[in-house]
Structure 1
């Protein structure tokens, strides 16, 4: 695989932003167009975080997908309560920039979105809100119920340790207080109910058997919600915790799912 960095002035964010674009070994700027998978990082990550997965190169080359790695820090890739517009940045700028600069299948049928934890949740939010852009979702341990969180359900786990999970203060800076319009707007269960069925999606989601009990619970609830709404999906619980070792171990399944469902031109 080959990794390129694309940088431009973002009108949505109000400063220069960069994304990493990962090209499979057989990529060519002419001829057959390539499907694209957007992979979103976890809380506090950046555009390099997915690159720490030691098997990423192998699966990218085998699948023949272009992989795009944007970043939003701790902002959940949404238009948040502080006015930061990372959703606009992703769907209005990043996709257009990638389709304009690379040999992509520039349609929903050739475009998927995935992520880990924060990124897995954000991937589903964006696919439900923008079915005209994405047809496939791939989530590792998605933190789907972030808009529904009240207080700090992880406080007993902190015990002086640094967790890659937002404190109440950090969480409410993005989502606003309980009952806020931002929380209502991104409630995934509401989005499932109100989705535009003109744009069907397929979802891959998994979670580690040693993950936080709350994380396992919300992934099971999302599985059940997808079933209730007749959204095609594949759900798995497999060994691992809430970390990038778990993510790396699941890369072959994730990429096989995406590759089998994304259109090649």
Structure 2
């Protein structure tokens, strides 16, 4: 595998923007001359960044014989949104970043059926939001995603200024605790969705509720649960499930030499 650490000038964010890219090892994949390589945008959670998946998991090793480009972007703690304080992370990721990457990696597919997105916790929310609102991803997966804010955002919430800086007046979330329902209204219903959450995770109730409510909007989710908490130990295991679910010919690590 090759891991590229890229920093480019983002016109949308007006700053130097970092992103990591895992590129297939051409000596190990079945189609080394492929000019239409599938791509997975893999999103981090709160307090993480573009290095989190590489530092906390064996992701690079897992995909070493899979013909798949993995893009690891960074939004700090901005929830993959266009924030109230002017940083348009949603636009930067959905409009600018794909164009920049296409110049670096012309073999990266532009086709929807070969473009995927996934994330954990805050990144699970981001993956669903981006997939629902752009209709550019054939598959979207969430691991322990913050898919609903039900019971989370209250007047007594710590650091209220932060949350309002991201989403706006807090009362809007008390009235609408699941902004993904609004995102679902923009969906063409063609994307396939997967979600997993640990049964001891503090977001377990929110995942159950979100799956139910999104189904009412016509968003069917392949949802599974198992014993687990909000922890990298479980996300490292479940990312294998995501990779097996994607149509990329993923080969589990135990088969590798």
Same fold (TM over 0.5): yes
Q: What is the aligned partner in structure 1 of residue 237 from structure 2?
A: 249
In the TM superposition, what is the alpha-carbon distance from 1:22 to its structure 2 partner? 0.6
Q: Do structure 1's residue 204 and structure 2's residue 194 form an aligned pair?
A: yes
In the TM superposition, what is the alpha-carbon distance from 1:188 to its structure 2 partner? 0.4
Q: Where does structure 2 lack aligned partners over 5 or more consecutive residues?
A: 251-257
Deviations 1:12-53 (A, max 9, x none): 111111100011223688434211000111012111001124
In the TM superposition, what is the alpha-carbon distance from 1:63 to its structure 2 partner? 3.5
| CA 97–238 in structure 1, closer or farther in 2 if over 3 Å, else same | same
Quick check: 2:141–2:193 contact (8 Å CA) kept in 1?
yes
Quick check: 1:81–1:174 contact (8 Å CA) kept in 2?
yes
Q: What is the aligned partner in structure 2 of residue 195 from structure 1?
A: 186
Q: What is the aligned partner in structure 1 of residue 163 from structure 2?
A: 171
Q: Do structure 1's residue 108 and structure 2's residue 112 form an aligned pair?
A: yes
Quick check: 1:55–1:251 contact (8 Å CA) kept in 2?
no
One of 122, 126, 134 as aligned partner of 1:122: 126
Taking the aligned partners of 2:183 and 2:150, their CA distance within structure 1 comes to 12
Quick check: 2:49–2:75 contact (8 Å CA) kept in 1?
yes
Q: Of the two structures, which has the highest relative contact order with CA contacts closer than 8 Å and spacing of 6 or more?
A: 1
| CA 105–200 in structure 1, closer or farther in 2 if over 3 Å, else same | same
In the TM superposition, what is the alpha-carbon distance from 1:179 to its structure 2 partner? 4.3
Q: CA RMSD in A?
A: 2.7
Taking the aligned partners of 2:227 and 2:58, their CA distance within structure 1 comes to 17
Partner-residue secondary structure (3-state), 1:61: coil
Q: Write the mapping of 1:126-165 to structure 2, written as runs, cut at 5 A.
A: 126-131=130-135, 133-146=136-149, 149-151=152-154
For normalisation by structure 1, the TM-score amounts to 0.83
Q: Do structure 1's residue 56 and structure 2's residue 59 form an aligned pair?
A: yes
Q: What is the aligned partner in structure 1 of residue 19 from structure 2?
A: 19
In the TM superposition, what is the alpha-carbon distance from 1:149 to its structure 2 partner? 4.8
In the TM superposition, what is the alpha-carbon distance from 1:208 to its structure 2 partner? 1.0
For normalisation by structure 2, the TM-score amounts to 0.85
Taking the aligned partners of 1:147 and 1:240, their CA distance within structure 2 comes to 21
Could you list the runs of 4 or more consecutive aligned residues of structure 1 that deviate by over 6 angstroms after TM superposition? none
Quick check: 1:136–1:261 contact (8 Å CA) kept in 2?
no
In the TM superposition, what is the alpha-carbon distance from 1:4 to its structure 2 partner? 0.2
Structure holding more helix per residue = 1
| Paired residue total | 244
In the TM superposition, what is the alpha-carbon distance from 1:233 to its structure 2 partner? 2.4
Partner-residue secondary structure (3-state), 2:215: helix
